[in-house]
Amino acid sequence: MPVTRIDHLVLTVGDLERTIEWYCGVAGMTHLRFGKDRHALAFGEQKINLHVRGHEIEPHAAVPTAGSADVCFIVDEAPDTLRERLDRLGIPIELGPVARDGATGELTSYYLRDPDGNLVELSSYRW
């Protein structure tokens, strides 16, 4: 039974509202509420469930820590357009544009930090 895709992952965060604002504003994700006061960020057919540090949902990672993620998201934007949008939003770019190897080919990537210091790579496959 091979894995076919990621359904969701969990991100431990320090400030729920700040995280939601950042991912919705910078990465164009959608904030979802579900269950009993649960929160997630949706994009495509995936989502990121959000756990507030110290209030994680059971079961959870052995050592849930805000700021320990390193994740790459694919955007449907040309690299120059992405750079212009990040500049307009005042989002500091840690590195980029740089060429990287993605799951299905060559990417152009920009590296950013979210409010908890997670490394967020926003990437475009070659246009």
The set of catalytic residues is 121
* Strand order across the 119-125 sheet: 70-74, 119-125, 106-113, 95-101
Beta strands in 1-105 (DSSP E): 8-13, 30-34, 38-43, 46-52, 70-74, 95-101
Q: Please confirm whether the linkage preceding 59 is cis (ω < 30° from 0).
A: yes
Give the residue from 127, 125, 102, 122 showing the smallest Cα distance to 26: 122
Instruction: Quote the DSSP letter at residue 92.
Output: P
Burial 28-42 (b: 16+ CB within 10 A, else e): ebebeeeeeeebbbb
